Structure 1
Amino acid sequence: MHVDERAGVFWRWWTAGTTSMVGSAVGAVALPLTALTVLGNAAFPLRLVRKVRRCRRSGAPGPRR
């Protein structure tokens, strides 16, 4: 593999990682704002959204089907 080929691989990897991080950051802001807009200012649904986000970040398994 030539140096130019390795540089291309690196930039593809870097772009994919950066895109993923930006998407996660947008989702972290968009999900609560969407829930607030759709559900209104109700305390229980907003707490439920917060708990789901916290569980997903901790790596806890999702609901069983």
Structure 2
Amino acid sequence: MQEYTNINQGNSFIRAIAKETEANFPRIKTIFKAEDLGGWDEIQAKFFDEGTIFDKIRAKKST
């Protein structure tokens, strides 16, 4: 794996790979927006508040 001395060098490498492979994958306009999930307050309450989905996933991984 090649190392890059600055971020611009790495970014140009990533852009080159993206250009080479873009025909292999469909373009994604937008997967979804926070509003599609009820807004950030709803997302926080459902996924990240104490005891919700994120905590349950972490609990499964630590067992």
Q: After TM superposition, is the score higher than 0.5?
A: no
- Normalized per residue, the structure richer in helix is 1
Structure with more contact order per residue of length (Cα contacts < 8 Å, sep ≥ 6) = 1
For normalisation by structure 1, the TM-score amounts to 0.29
